[in-house]
Structure 1
Amino acid sequence: MRTHIFIYALLILGISCSNSDDGPNEGTSGNDSGYVYGKVTDTEGNPLSGVTIYIDNSIFYNSGITATTKADGTYKVNTPQGAWKAYAELSTIYNGTTYHIDLHPTKPEGFPGTEINERNFIWRTVGENPLNPGTYYGGLVKIFKDPNSDIYDYQNIEFTFTPVGDLIDGSSGSVVIRTCGAPGTDFYQLIHNVPIGRYRITAKYLTTGETLKLRDDYFTNDPYEPEIVMDFFGASSGANCENCMYIAFSEL
């Protein structure tokens, strides 16, 4: 997600950002400006407060407006003339780690700043983000082989992710069984879109049926085990990626 500060608007146009209680029918703040409003909820329809809303200019770089949702999950932002898109990001703590989560827009299209526009967002744990095609709400798993392993066809390794406790959104989750993509594809050595949570992970080499040993490959001194328990890395994990995990495999 692109986070921008709308400096030129504040200094030159004097446009203000508002999270007031005024409803969507109050009218615009002038002939050359309108506003965008909306509500942010979880998967059960409950309001999410404290979510950061980014109203990003589609033409000018580094020229956006930032707001925060209120206790009832709503927000409202005055928008000057121009072309805009709305984004939402949730910051939440899960198992002691801070995560930044992009939220799903119910209407991803851009909008003109001189009109009144509604843009709502929902917290989804899986699915492709239409505001950033090719990225997903679920976490990314990166697969690596031990240097001494004789297995090179990563796509024939089946990984099973069994939730340990609730997922990041508080739901119970379910078992996820996945393989990575074939060589030459964008998904080779990668498993996309696993709901962010804590998992007990096992792996099986489908060619032989052999159970493989695994380890957290970000901390390379960890021993290989038949099963491991891992969280996805968050913003405060100290890793070089967010909402991802590194798994290495080796034969038993």
Structure 2
Amino acid sequence: MSRTLKSLSSSLLLTLILASCGGGDGASSPPPSVPTPVPTPSSPKAQTMSGVVRNSAGQPLAGATVFAGHTVLFNVNALTTSGADGSYSVSVAQPAGSWYAGAQIKRRYNGADYTFDLQPDKTDPFPGTQGAIRDFSWKLTGTRPDGGKYGATLTVYADFFDPELLDWIPDMEVTLIPDGPLIDGSVGQTIRRRLIQTPDGQEGLMDIPLGTYVIRARYAPAGGAARDLSIRLRNTGDFATSVVSAFRQKGSDQLLEVEVSRQ
């Protein structure tokens, strides 16, 4: 073999070795892609309810409890848990009949435990023989399928020793300033609203994304001068210019009760 042919062979071999190692120009391999939720199947699988659970940012939500409930037989449910990619699958083969879908996520936040209902993309029941695809998402605010709200409720009471303050409540305004991330890790926004009447007959604010807030109140009549009010957690501690607190789980809802005063 000639010296020239040997040189060419050596060069070719070196090129192949460098190529197998990712190149000889010092370039590194591309970083791994960011995981994304698995795509939702286009059609359901017979005798199976399946789908994907996502958080408010559209990313996979692991550890959610998903259930298929029988529409006729009381307390007959098929349960499963969403995986790391947000997907789940549960059999609805037995007992025969139709089913509806539901899901919840549990989280611990600032030393307290919370349970949230997740929003289904469809609420209509389906026959078990046919199966169904039901996706879920975690909403901190918005309207539930039953007409309620996903967000928390703030209830405002007037100082018990100042009964005339009750007349001011319709003109009160509350400001909530986030004190850290919300329960899902997202960044909250300052909320400033006038009080409304809640479904339980109290005055307050509804549909607030759950988090810890610095809370202030003031009297702000239309066309009149505004006046800051003192505030505290209801029947707890001294009145001050603001109070810092998170909402608490109460039954299936999240609630925070505060009390305002002119002192």
Q: Is the 8 A contact 1:128 1:136 kept in 2?
A: yes
Q: Does 1:50 align with 2:63?
A: yes
1:243 counterpart = 2:243: no
Alpha-carbon spacing, 1:26–1:128, altered in 2? closer, same or farther (3 Å): closer
* Corresponding pairs, count: 216
Q: Which amino acid aligns with 2:260?
A: F
Tell me the residue number matched to 1:214. Answer: 231
Do 1:180 and 1:187's aligned partners in 2 also have CA atoms closer than 8 Å?
no
1:200-211 equivalence runs, <5 A: 200-207=214-221, 208-211=225-228
Are 1:198 and 2:212 matched, yes or no?
A: yes
1:65 matched to 2:82? no
The one-letter amino acid of 1:168's match is I
- 1:1-252 to structure 2, matched below 5 A, reads 27-28=45-46, 34-79=47-92, 80=94, 81-130=96-145, 132-133=146-147, 135-149=148-162, 150-153=164-167, 154-182=169-197, 188-207=202-221, 208-217=225-234, 220-234=235-249, 242-252=253-263
Structure 1 residue 144: deviation in Å?
1.3
Task: State the shift of 1:221 in Å.
Answer: 3.4
The question of whether the paired residues in 2 share the 8 Å contact of 1:163 and 1:200 is answered with: yes
Larger radius of gyration: 2
Task: Tell me, in whole angstroms, the C-alpha distance in 1 between the residues paired with 2:131 and 2:217.
Answer: 51
Alpha carbons of 1:248 and 1:95: their partners in 2 closer, same or farther (altered >3 Å)?
same
Question: What is the CA deviation profile of residues 145-183 of structure 1, one whole-angstrom value per residue up to 9, with x for unaligned ones?
Answer: 111222224232100011011111111111111223259
Q: Distance in 2 between matches of 1:199 and 1:77?
A: 39
TM-score by length of 2: 0.75
| In structure 1, C-alpha distance between the alignment counterparts of 2:112 and 2:259, rounded to whole Å | 22
CA contact under 8 A between 1:105 and 1:120: conserved in structure 2?
yes
Deviation at 1:24, TM superposition (A): 8.5
Alpha carbon RMSD of aligned pairs, Å?
2.3
Preserved CA contact (<8 Å) 1:143 1:246: yes
Shift of 1:243: 1.4
1:139 and 1:244 in contact (8 A); partners too: yes
Overall identity of the aligned pairs, in %: 29
Structure with the larger RCO, 1 or 2 (CA within 8 Å, 6+ apart): 1
Residue number in structure 2 paired with 1:15: none
Q: Distance in 2 between matches of 1:245 and 1:54?
A: 29
Q: 2: distance between equivalents of 1:77 and 1:197?
A: 32
Separation in 2, partners of 1:241, 1:190: 18
Question: How many Å separate the matches in 2 of 1:26 and 1:201?
Answer: 47
**What CA distance in whole angstroms lies between the structure 1 residues aligned with 2:57 and 2:239?**
39
Q: In proportion to residue count, which structure has more helix?
A: 2
Mark the runs of 5 or more structure 2 residues left unpaired by the alignment. Answer: 1-40
Whole-angstrom CA distance in 2 between matches of 1:66 and 1:160: 41
